[in-house]
Amino acid sequence: AQSVTQLDSQVPVFEEAPVELRCNYSSSVSVYLFWYVQYPNQGLQLLLKYLSGSTLVKGINGFEAEFNKSQTSFHLRKPSVHISDTAEYFCAVSDQAPPGGYNKLIFGAGTRLAVHP
Amino acid sequence: DAGVIQSPRHEVTEMGQEVTLRCKPISGHNSLFWYRQTMMRGLELLIYFNNNVPIDDSGMPEDRFSAKMPNASFSTLKIQPSEPRDSAVYFCASSFNRDVATNEKLFFGSGTQLSVL
């Protein structure tokens, strides 16, 4: 069964500094990978996704992530963060659908990014 | 589009009472998901509907929980009787999937904060 590990529960960073939020997954088959963001008192929004093709995926708000199959990682990066990036970030994985099944999203525990002035 | 609409935003009830959470998915979406978010367990999938049919209810905690989708524009999650351990944020999400197996981008509602005293 697949699982997702987000290695940092909280990441404090100063405004305009770079940030990396780490995500590792375990799966025995090909996967789809996602990053979602949750702003306070809101639902989750999709930041970016990897389905196939280029391992470097660009998303909204200047975020990008790189799929590394050998390290089973999908770390999220942004070269310069803003105060408005303060939120909870969730990594998610799904196996490609088995016969008769569906690709079920499994979410990590989340990483709280706190951007300070 | 107004997005996924959930009601109520907050619900406070006493143990043993029936609780009904409501969700209106985005028009045209054919898949609907109910998730529960807690500090201890993170984001858990409770049930997945595709074309109003429950596809996967393996995440429903126990018989006290039930979900229905009588039509494409409305779903309910009911807890009867409620218990303090049911306190959580309950999210509804919808998506358009080309088939029951594909699950690429979810649109989340703002959630219902449930407190069972």
Mean pLDDT of chain B: 92
CA distance from start to end of chain A: 41
Q: Residue A2: is its pLDDT beyond 80?
A: no
Residues of B in contact with A101 (CB under 8 A): 101
B-chain residues within 8 Å CB-CB of A104?
45, 48, 56, 103
B91 vs A41, A43, A97: nearest CB = A43
Cβ of B42 and A109 within 8 Å? yes
Mean pLDDT of A27-38: 85
- The CA-atom distances, in angstroms, between A81 and each of A21, A50, A74, A93, B92 are 12, 22, 19, 25, 29
Tell me the pLDDT tens digit for each residue of A63-116: 999 999 999 999 999 999 999 999 999 999 887 777 767 778 889 999 999 999
Q: What angle do CA B109, A43, A75 make, to 5 degrees?
A: 140
Q: What is the pLDDT of residues B21-36, one digit of tens each?
A: 999 999 999 999 999 9
User: Number of A:B CB contacts under 8 A?
Assistant: 55
Task: Check residue B99 and give its pLDDT.
Answer: 62
